[in-house]
Amino acid sequence: MSAFPPATHDVFALDQLLTDEEKEIKYRTRAFMEREVAPIIADYWERAEFPHELVPKLAKLRLGGATLKGNGCPGQSLVGAAMAVIEIARVDGSMSTFLMVHNSLAMLTIGLLGSEEQKTQLLPRMATLESVAAWALTEPSNGSDASALTTSAKKVEGGWELNGKKRWIGNATFAEWIVIWARRADTGDVNAFLVKKGTPGLQTRKIENKIALRCVQNADIRLESCWVPDSARLPGVNSFKDTNVVLAISRIMVAWQPVGLAMGVYDMANRYLRQREQFGNPLAAYQINQEKLQRMLGNIQAMTLMAWRLSKLYEQGKLDHATSAMTKAWNTLRGREVMALGRELLGGNGVVSDFLVAKSFNDMEAIFTYEGTYEVNALVAGRQATGIAAFKALPKKGK
Amino acid sequence: MSAFPPATHDVFALDQLLTDEEKEIKYRTRAFMEREVAPIIADYWERAEFPHELVPKLAKLRLGGATLKGNGCPGQSLVGAAMAVIEIARVDGSMSTFLMVHNSLAMLTIGLLGSEEQKTQLLPRMATLESVAAWALTEPSNGSDASALTTSAKKVEGGWELNGKKRWIGNATFAEWIVIWARRADTGDVNAFLVKKGTPGLQTRKIENKIALRCVQNADIRLESCWVPDSARLPGVNSFKDTNVVLAISRIMVAWQPVGLAMGVYDMANRYLRQREQFGNPLAAYQINQEKLQRMLGNIQAMTLMAWRLSKLYEQGKLDHATSAMTKAWNTLRGREVMALGRELLGGNGVVSDFLVAKSFNDMEAIFTYEGTYEVNALVAGRQATGIAAFKALPKKGK
Amino acid sequence: MSAFPPATHDVFALDQLLTDEEKEIKYRTRAFMEREVAPIIADYWERAEFPHELVPKLAKLRLGGATLKGNGCPGQSLVGAAMAVIEIARVDGSMSTFLMVHNSLAMLTIGLLGSEEQKTQLLPRMATLESVAAWALTEPSNGSDASALTTSAKKVEGGWELNGKKRWIGNATFAEWIVIWARRADTGDVNAFLVKKGTPGLQTRKIENKIALRCVQNADIRLESCWVPDSARLPGVNSFKDTNVVLAISRIMVAWQPVGLAMGVYDMANRYLRQREQFGNPLAAYQINQEKLQRMLGNIQAMTLMAWRLSKLYEQGKLDHATSAMTKAWNTLRGREVMALGRELLGGNGVVSDFLVAKSFNDMEAIFTYEGTYEVNALVAGRQATGIAAFKALPKKGK
Amino acid sequence: MSAFPPATHDVFALDQLLTDEEKEIKYRTRAFMEREVAPIIADYWERAEFPHELVPKLAKLRLGGATLKGNGCPGQSLVGAAMAVIEIARVDGSMSTFLMVHNSLAMLTIGLLGSEEQKTQLLPRMATLESVAAWALTEPSNGSDASALTTSAKKVEGGWELNGKKRWIGNATFAEWIVIWARRADTGDVNAFLVKKGTPGLQTRKIENKIALRCVQNADIRLESCWVPDSARLPGVNSFKDTNVVLAISRIMVAWQPVGLAMGVYDMANRYLRQREQFGNPLAAYQINQEKLQRMLGNIQAMTLMAWRLSKLYEQGKLDHATSAMTKAWNTLRGREVMALGRELLGGNGVVSDFLVAKSFNDMEAIFTYEGTYEVNALVAGRQATGIAAFKALPKKGK
Ligand SMILES: Cc1cc2nc3c(=O)[nH]c(=O)nc-3n(C[C@H](O)[C@H](O)[C@H](O)COP(=O)(O)OP(=O)(O)OC[C@H]3O[C@@H](n4cnc5c(N)ncnc54)[C@H](O)[C@@H]3O)c2cc1C
Ligand SMILES: Cc1cc2nc3c(=O)[nH]c(=O)nc-3n(C[C@H](O)[C@H](O)[C@H](O)COP(=O)(O)OP(=O)(O)OC[C@H]3O[C@@H](n4cnc5c(N)ncnc54)[C@H](O)[C@@H]3O)c2cc1C
Ligand SMILES: Cc1cc2nc3c(=O)[nH]c(=O)nc-3n(C[C@H](O)[C@H](O)[C@H](O)COP(=O)(O)OP(=O)(O)OC[C@H]3O[C@@H](n4cnc5c(N)ncnc54)[C@H](O)[C@@H]3O)c2cc1C
Ligand SMILES: Cc1cc2nc3c(=O)[nH]c(=O)nc-3n(C[C@H](O)[C@H](O)[C@H](O)COP(=O)(O)OP(=O)(O)OC[C@H]3O[C@@H](n4cnc5c(N)ncnc54)[C@H](O)[C@@H]3O)c2cc1C
């Protein structure tokens, strides 16, 4: 299937809510994605390979660093950064995740919690994507309950010795730098360390057989007596709570991802239904199909507004984690509905990734699950609404 | 059950999107509803009676006329009018529909399509609710396809003779004025007429046994050689299309109704779950209940933003019927989900209307269906997206 | 609306799975319900009154006692009793619940756990419905966690003194006998007592404003120093566990109720859609409506088979509570979907109880909630599948 | 991941509904699948390759030919054949589809509509899987509306010349025989022809990039002046209606496929949740997870009973296409729900195909769509319930 379908999803005039700069990011990114990525990405996805050839081209879009200012970073507004996220995700979820991990997890951690030296040394080359970064929090035994992480950091002569396992770490097979979250052997507090590719004691193994975000190279990591110098420690991280300053932004970006996926799937399904005929009429003529299209369209407007409002609250310093968690959860729930509707609307072609919809249908599953699963985010938000943490064992009373 | 629960639904800071006047309408209406209506309305609902005692009090809120300017009307902004709609619906769907029919169907038709004389004569007393109005489009055989209406208007000496049947007409059993939509015997075009209570040939019969909006008095109307003077004809109405200028606004108001219902149900459920204990913990402590609360909360934010954005587009003159139809449909779909969740969260008390939730659960069903059913609105919107009217028979094409 | 619609729901030939006797019960009950009950029940439902006039006629159907043998009871097979349940529920949920409470809760408790004397004295008149019974387990503060009941029974001279409150007790406003579950002051064990209408210290107050099963008279009960003789105690009940022998059967009957409601709603919607026209075609011609009808139909077949299989396992002595709980939960989930679909298919007439669908739509909500809510049944079943009781606080581990 | 999880899904004692022979097929197939297929299939699925190595082993199970009698076929009962279908699908959807296409489409067409000669020549080697068959109805432009097929068959000297395109044809890249459905140039009637691998003018091209049933080799077929001898024509096929005798059985088999997928996913999720811990408890301890498990379990019982009842009605000669279509549609709807629940329950591991669930989640999508999509089956069934074919343009009626 040839050119990417025109954008027909925006019936609520999103541009009105954007600054000129944000609009510019949106259309700049869209043009790139439709022209450079759409024609080639399905093959990479099928082979579960990362499209390294696209990195230099992507670099020219100047999206590296996103909301960070200085050190070569573009200092985008939050909504501006989000426009890049959705336009990339509209065409490909993997590329969107690749950049989200690099920008809104790894670079952001360095930018917000690193030393001046770390920033000036690393960020400029990361902003140009010459250096790609990864961010390693999750462990094989600690996913939803990441705060229970057991990777350890022992203070040794001139540095730290890291031991433990990480799982699911995006970009980690080829990233130059990996931010490793570990627990200090002395205090028990969580710290973070920059570990460079090739450091002795660091092993990364690609996770095979994923059905979602197949271009993203997720790794199982093993750290065995992995020594890093004192300068590798991020001075801004002194406890697990310090992840929050990063996750506050990254979760917003993740809440935008389903918006982008949904836009692309709608655009594709809309065109498909108008072009294909069965029983003497275009598929778009049939009631069942029209209702699905409209449900998708309504969901997209709502998801967009949810993520936009979340971003605005953040910009005003009025966002709390609960609201962010609720929105991430909600957007992935509706995003999943859009994907399923799009998938079925394409019939048999809905199971072939070249038609985009099958690919996004699968990619959505990962987003439903990462940065806190739907359920765990709902319970994190629920804790605030009720005052009770239901994801843990409840206090046993009486009787 | 004591006082109405505090508002805990607004995690997206809706007030930020409102002008001072709009906020003032919101809190003025909320105070009235919580204080005057909440304590007494369940009984009226149970008895399926209209709470006439509340009308003079409601009048003092100066909501009559809503967006209309002049002739005693308050000239609210669209969003201001919507704030009244949601705050009324938060406590009671029937009152919200009573006023919506009066303001955004009947008065609006007069205000936008009536003569100067009609306006100056009728609107002032309607603005103070001394005179209540009804609006009669639907017929027993023409519901979703209202444009096929068959009530006839024959030109006779000094006036018009109306014949036919109407169904579902809210407020009509006691309204002073009913706007009757009828087809001219001569031209076949649709016109509209003001028919006064007590006019010979006009019979109204209350529709009994409703499960929804039980305080709203819906009537079956019979017009038998019902004569009205020339001055009863609304000069602005010359074809069925002229309903659109009214429905453009009323549909937005209807899209706000589920928002209000949902807010009330959330507030009630949230308080209930924190107060009631089972198995040694507040119900709010249980995961299944927390996930439902959060799903409700997310839906409410999304529904609010959808209706808000719709209103803003209208204010800019950028709204088309398709988008309006899509939004009404979408908001009722999510509204229904919120009602069902609230209903089940209250357990047995969820089937008793005093706890509000059961009442709103039922009221929602009418809103799902009126001003165009969910399905018909989806197909109206779908026509624009696809260029094909799927609610009618499709053109048959050769094999 | 004229005669009750013909049965068109049975595409899986249920009769093949029935004995001749079971079929006979089914058609006998159906004829009665369509002829005697359908024409008059909506008015009772609207007024929230019990149709006492129907009791003598119902008595002639010889359904009283259901599965009990002897003492004037018909000794129906479980599936035979179920056929009465579904055929009654097909026309009216309230009547079905009235009889279910009488037969499968109250009489069954007496029949299975009463003394010979209690049985011979009470059951014959109950079998003929001359004497109606109620069954009181739930309390205001103990619903889902009924086992925490606090109504107390103190041994006194020649009998017992009962104190406490019960809530939701069906039939209790007029029943001759109420089975009261209470905790012995001495041992703390749960026992059961037969309390006769008019006993000093027993007060029943009708719960008003229900939206569901409005003909069923549910009561709030207050027991204040209510003395009953030694002979009032059911000797078979010595602990809370003894409720299980009754609930094992009643839960199966409740699992059949949504089947009956769904059958009636499908039959009604199917006829309605074929008769009513909009946009030049019968509503039945439109895709969206056909898909809904088919989803309803599929659900009905599945629900029927689920309840049938449950009954068969019980008859073989192979049923455990977990499977029963799962099936009750599942059937109410699908039943609720059928009700919602039927409700929307009837458009405006779907909110008027005369058209049956609105009534069943509401009645379903009570069934979703009683005999264990959907959620609590799911968790009861889940305990067996996982070995962990998630409805209670989990044991707190480590950390 | 070690051995395939034990079967914990059967709480309704399915074995009771089976003959000894049917049970034997079930356990024979299960043992094979768990032992031989489970450990190796994820890799084939990932590479989108057919596991030819398994064919000789599978052959030993003597499932080839399924319900056909004679010519080396096992003459299984319908339910017996279904037991093989579900046990294969429980471990792998692709293998199940491979065999379903071979047995219940291709061999069945030959067995029911072929000449004696065709049967004796082809069936014995097909029964032993030495010869694999494919079945080609769908075309690029005719999917849901297969009856509009345009592949043509022109009578020529000593045989027929076939021209046209087919799409989606399972097994066709390596099958020895392909049943091709084509329209006779002379009469316009649909006939069927046996085309052998390697016949000049027959080209098959594998459809790449599928996300579902990746081991099944689906082909785009091109027939260009492809000559086949007179003996290639199936004498039993004289019109499109003759597909029905085959589809009557194959659709039942397809209705069983989601049952098998769901059983496997449940078994896997159930074990996973009991083994993995987060926040100090096994995942199985959390309410949200238990409710999902139970919903899956209920669905599985219902889906099993639906397919079983369908099979029984067929065996009695009492099944019509509408009921079959409804059941296929319904089972895929619920199957999809089970897949989604299983997928989310496994968290991140739910997107890796080695854990089975991700694979089945994807495979389900194809089954939702093939043998008539969900929607088209619902409308085919709806036609019978309403008398109106809504999948075609409706007759346009006068205003
Ligand atoms: C494609 C992909 C990319 C990722 N990239 C990164 C990355 O770059 N860096 C990184 O650090 N991590 C990454 N992750 C990890 C991700 O954040 C985790 O997968 C996620 O937090 C869920 O953890 P889990 O997979 O261990 O699931 P689990 O925690 O095992 O959850 C399994 C199931 O149990 C439920 N559950 C868990 N706890 C509870 C509870 N208390 N109550 C009720 N239900 C519960 C969950 O909702 C879920 O349904 C990635 C994951 C994926 C799939
Ligand atoms: C409580 C209440 C108050 C009301 N107040 C007023 C009032 O004040 N004034 C007034 O004029 N009207 C009023 N109405 C009428 C209301 O607008 C109609 O009920 C509504 O338009 C639906 O029409 P119907 O009830 O005839 O349903 P129908 O049109 O008969 O629809 C029945 C079902 O068929 C579906 N359907 C219909 N056509 C199609 C199609 N072409 N394709 C697919 N599906 C289709 C519908 O979606 C619905 O599910 C009120 C209604 C209610 C219930
Ligand atoms: C119409 C009607 C008729 C009835 N008839 C009778 C009768 O004749 N005799 C009789 O004895 N009783 C009767 N009942 C009572 C019925 O059995 C209870 O309503 C039911 O058990 C639920 O209890 P509850 O209403 O107190 O809800 P609650 O227990 O307060 O539940 C409220 C909500 O919390 C949820 N919840 C509760 N506990 C948990 C938990 N641990 N984890 C997660 N969620 C939880 C529930 O699922 C529900 O959503 C009747 C009820 C109704 C509505
Ligand atoms: C993995 C796989 C294996 C297959 N194997 C075989 C095989 O071995 N042999 C074979 O012959 N075929 C095979 N098929 C083809 C399969 O039968 C078709 O895919 C199926 O019939 C749907 O056709 P389609 O893909 O062209 O979808 P379309 O017909 O284009 O349908 C697209 C969408 O439109 C909807 N739609 C279509 N018509 C209407 C209507 N009138 N009203 C409302 N909605 C409508 C559909 O429900 C669907 O959502 C296979 C397909 C797949 C995916």
Class of domain D14-132 (CATH, top level): mainly alpha
What DSSP letter does each residue of C376-399 carry, written as one string? Answer: HHHHHHHHHHHS--TTSPPPP---
3-class DSSP assignment, residue B153: strand
HSE at residue C33, side-chain half, CA atoms within 13 A, is 29
- Tracing tokens 């279904």 back to the chain, one arrives at D82
pLDDT at A397: 55
Closest of A141, A138, A147, A70 to residue A110, by C-alpha: A70
HSE at residue C117, side-chain half, CA atoms within 13 A, is 7
3-class DSSP assignment, residue B304: helix
Do D96 and D215 touch, CB atoms closer than 8 A?
no
pLDDT at D393: 82
In chain D, which residues have their Cβ closer than 8 Å to the Cβ of C394?
281, 285
Task: Report residue A224: phi and psi, to 5°.
Answer: -125, 110
Q: In angstroms, rounded to a whole number, what is the distance separating the alpha carbons of residues B160 and B226? A: 8
Say if the Cβ atoms of C280 and D398 lie within 8 Å.
Answer: yes
Interface of A with B in 294-353 (CB under 8 A): 294-295, 297-299, 301-303, 305-306, 309, 313, 318, 322-323, 326-327, 329-330, 333-334
Per-residue pLDDT of chain A (399 residues; tens, 9 = 90+): 448 999 999 999 999 999 999 999 999 999 999 999 999 999 999 999 999 999 999 999 999 999 999 999 999 999 999 999 999 999 999 999 999 999 999 999 999 999 999 999 999 999 999 999 999 999 999 999 999 999 999 999 999 999 999 999 999 999 999 999 999 999 999 999 999 999 999 999 999 999 999 999 999 999 999 999 999 999 999 999 999 999 999 999 999 999 999 999 999 999 999 999 999 999 999 999 999 999 999 999 999 999 999 999 999 999 999 999 999 999 999 999 999 999 999 999 999 999 999 999 999 999 999 999 999 999 999 999 999 999 998 776 543
Do C267 and C8 touch, CB atoms closer than 8 A?
yes
Closest of A110, A359, A356 to residue A242, by C-alpha: A110
Q: In angstroms, rounded to a whole number, what is the distance separating the alpha carbons of residues D304 and D290? A: 21
- Tracing tokens 């080209």 back to the chain, one arrives at D203
Residue nearest to ligand 3 atom 23, measured at CA: C143
Probe site for chain D from C8, C10, C11 (most D CB atoms < 10 A): C11
pLDDT at B225: 98
> How far apart are the two ends of chain B, measured CA to CA in Å?
66
Closest of C337, C279, C291 to residue A288, by C-alpha: C291
Q: Is A376 in the pocket of ligand 1 (CB under 6 A)?
A: yes
C49-95 pLDDT, tens digit each: 999 999 999 999 999 999 999 999 999 999 999 999 999 999 999 99
Do D286 and D109 touch, CB atoms closer than 8 A?
no
Say if the Cβ atoms of D210 and A351 lie within 8 Å.
Answer: yes
Cβ atoms within 10 Å, residue C241? 11
Say if the Cβ atoms of B348 and C138 lie within 8 Å.
Answer: yes
Closest of A145, A226, A241 to residue A193, by C-alpha: A226
For residue B260, what are the contacts with CB-CB under 8 A and spacing of at least 6? Answer: B85, B86, B87, B88, B89, B90, B93, B96
Residue type, A398: G
Token pair, residue C105, equals 């809760």
User: Distance of CA B246 to CAs B42, B252, D174, D245, Å?
Assistant: 31, 10, 65, 57
Q: How far is the CA of A389 from the centre of ligand 3 (A)?
A: 24
pLDDT at A396: 64
In chain A, which residues have their Cβ closer than 8 Å to the Cβ of C399?
148
The pLDDT of residue D369 is above 70: yes
Q: Where are the beta strands (DSSP E) in B40-176?
A: 69-70, 73-74, 133-136, 152-156, 159-170
Q: In angstroms, rounded to a whole number, what is the distance separating the alpha carbons of residues D256 and D79? A: 10
CA atoms B270, B271, B274, B277: torsion sign: negative
CA atoms A105, A176, A215, A365: torsion sign: negative
Element spanning D308, H or E: helix D287-315
3-class DSSP assignment, residue A388: coil
Q: In angstroms, rounded to a whole number, what is the distance separating the alpha carbons of residues C293 and C285? A: 11
Do B182 and B189 touch, CB atoms closer than 8 A?
no
Cβ atoms within 10 Å, residue D35? 13
Q: How far is the CA of C337 from the centre of ligand 2 (A)?
A: 20
Residue type, C182: A
Token pair, residue A20, equals 């000129």
Q: How many CB pairs under 8 A join C and D?
A: 173
The pLDDT of residue C2 is above 70: no
Q: Please compute Rg for chain D using Cα positions.
A: 21
- Label residue D2 by pLDDT band (50, 70, 90): very low
Q: Check: CATH 3.30.200.20 for C14-131?
A: no
Say if the Cβ atoms of A323 and B11 lie within 8 Å.
Answer: yes
B193-234 pLDDT, tens digit each: 999 999 999 999 999 999 999 999 999 999 999 999 999 999
Token pair, residue B39, equals 């304590």
Q: Say if strands C190-196 and C202-206 run parallel, antiparallel, or are unpaired.
A: unpaired
CA atoms D18, D24, D26, D30: torsion sign: positive
Per-residue pLDDT of chain B (399 residues; tens, 9 = 90+): 448 999 999 999 999 999 999 999 999 999 999 999 999 999 999 999 999 999 999 999 999 999 999 999 999 999 999 999 999 999 999 999 999 999 999 999 999 999 999 999 999 999 999 999 999 999 999 999 999 999 999 999 999 999 999 999 999 999 999 999 999 999 999 999 999 999 999 999 999 999 999 999 999 999 999 999 999 999 999 999 999 999 999 999 999 999 999 999 999 999 999 999 999 999 999 999 999 999 999 999 999 999 999 999 999 999 999 999 999 999 999 999 999 999 999 999 999 999 999 999 999 999 999 999 999 999 999 999 999 999 998 776 544
In chain C, which residues have their Cβ closer than 8 Å to the Cβ of A147?
none
Token pair, residue B94, equals 């029937």
Same fold, C134-239 and C241-386: no
Q: How far is the CA of B370 from the centre of ligand 2 (A)?
A: 6
Q: Please compute Rg for chain B using Cα positions.
A: 21
3-class DSSP assignment, residue A158: coil
DSSP code of A214? T
pLDDT at C293: 98
Residue nearest to ligand 2 atom 17, measured at CA: B370
Query: Across residues C367-377, what is the average pLDDT?
Result: 98
HSE at residue C86, side-chain half, CA atoms within 13 A, is 31
Probe site for chain D from B190, B240, B273, B287 (most D CB atoms < 10 A): B287
Say if the Cβ atoms of C344 and B373 lie within 8 Å.
Answer: yes
Q: Check: CATH 1.20.140.10 for B241-386?
A: yes
pLDDT at D396: 65
Cβ atoms within 10 Å, residue C128? 16
Nearest chain B alpha carbon to C43: B209
Tabulate helix, strand, coil % of chain A (nearest 5): 55, 15, 30
Nearest CB to D391 within list A208, A279, A359:
A279
CA atoms A79, A85, A88, A89: torsion sign: negative
- Tracing tokens 């839960």 back to the chain, one arrives at C251
Nearest CB to D397 within list B286, B393, B395:
B393
pLDDT at D397: 57
For residue C301, what are the contacts with CB-CB under 8 A and spacing of at least 6? Answer: C11, C12, D306, D309, D326, D327, D330
Nearest CB to B330 within list A284, A298, A326:
A298
Burial-class residue B20 by CB neighbours within 10 Å (0-12, 13-18, 19+). Answer: exposed
pLDDT at A332: 98
Q: Does D188 touch chain B (CB under 8 A)?
A: no
Q: In angstroms, rounded to a whole number, what is the distance separating the alpha carbons of residues C152 and C91? A: 39
The domain locations on chain C are: 14-131, 134-239, 241-386
User: Distance of CA D272 to CAs B118, C360, D382, Å?
Assistant: 73, 40, 40
What angle is formed at CA C328 by the lines to CA C211 and CA C169, rounded to 5 degrees? 45
C305-359 pLDDT, tens digit each: 999 999 999 999 999 999 999 999 999 999 999 999 999 999 999 999 999 999 9
The residues facing A156 across adjacent strands are A159
What DSSP letter does each residue of A342-392 carry, written as one string? Answer: HHHHTGGGGGBGGGSHHHHHHHHHHHHHSSS-HHHHHHHHHHHHHS--TTS
CA atoms A286, A289, A291, A294: torsion sign: negative
Residue type, C292: K
Q: What is the CATH number of domain B134-239?
A: 2.40.110.10
pLDDT at D398: 44
Residue nearest to ligand 2 atom 19, measured at CA: C348
For residue C305, the Cα-to-chain-centroid distance in whole angstroms is: 19
In chain C, which residues have their Cβ closer than 8 Å to the Cβ of D394?
281, 285
Interface of C with B in 111-150 (CB under 8 A): 138, 141-145, 148
Residue type, A213: L
3-class DSSP assignment, residue B45: helix
Interface of D with C in 231-290 (CB under 8 A): 270, 273-274, 280-282, 284-287, 290
Q: In angstroms, rounded to a whole number, what is the distance separating the alpha carbons of residues A151 and A139? A: 8
For residue A24, what are the contacts with CB-CB under 8 A and spacing of at least 6? Answer: none
Nearest chain D alpha carbon to B396: D393
The pLDDT of residue C399 is above 90: no
Ligand number with the minimum distance to the CA of C389: 3
CATH topology of domain A134-240: Butyryl-CoA Dehydrogenase, subunit A; domain 2 (2.40.110)
Torsion of CA D26, D32, D38, D40, to 10 degrees: -150
Q: Is C391 in the pocket of ligand 3 (CB under 6 A)?
A: yes
Looking at every residue in chain C, the average pLDDT score rounds to 97
In chain C, which residues have their Cβ closer than 8 Å to the Cβ of A399?
148
Q: In angstroms, rounded to a whole number, what is the distance separating the alpha carbons of residues D329 and C206? A: 45
In terms of residues, how long is chain D? Answer: 399
pLDDT at C396: 64
Query: Across residues D22-36, what is the average pLDDT?
Result: 98
